[in-house]
Amino acid sequence: MSRPTRRRGKTAAAARDRAAVEQVVADYYGSWFEGDPERMRSSLHPDLAKRSVEQDAAGNPFLDTIGTEYMVEATARGVGKKHPAGHEVVILDIDQDLATVKVISTPYAEYLHLARFGGRWQIVNVLWRSRPDSAAHR
């Protein structure tokens, strides 16, 4: 009889983790589209690495990296407000204190890595690209 109790406990904890991860992702996107820099800051780890594959003038690919301060400043400038809000979230995995999430929004496709720090989930890595049908600019 103790086995179902343990399973329920794990299921409840998993549901809490899922809800917490979903909330951080909602804060990240909501803050971007609404122009709320403090909400953006709260969703990101201070050492965020947000990366995209770009091309130089000669067409050679390179990895571009931006961080938390850039995202907060761009949010404050309202860069995300020019795009229609809305996104689809797929939680690919949650493993104890780590999570991987895929998000498709009108302007972007992004893969997010989140980690739990002292009970608080934050985005630590993002690999992203503009969607072909959007005119997304950072």
Encoded tokens for 95 = 């493993």
The pLDDT of residue 135: 53
SS (H, E, C) 15-63: HHHHHHHHHHHHHHHHHHHHCCHHHHHHHEEEEEEEEEEEECCCCCEEE
Q: 2-130 adopts what CATH topology?
A: Nuclear Transport Factor 2; Chain: A, (3.10.450)
The pLDDT of residue 134: 59
- Cβ atoms < 10 Å from Cβ of 134: 14
At 89-116, the pLDDT tens digits run: 999 999 999 999 999 999 999 999 999 9
Written as one string, the DSSP assignment of 76-113 is HTTGGGGS---EEEEEEEEETTEEEEEEEESSEEEEEE
At 45-70, the pLDDT tens digits run: 999 999 999 999 999 999 999 999 99
Read off the pLDDT of each residue in 124-136 and give the average, rounded to a whole number. Answer: 83
The pLDDT of residue 86: 87
Task: Note the pTM of the prediction, 2 decimals.
Answer: 0.87
Phi-psi region of 102 (alpha: psi -120 to 50; beta: other; left: phi over 0): beta
- Cβ atoms < 10 Å from Cβ of 25: 22
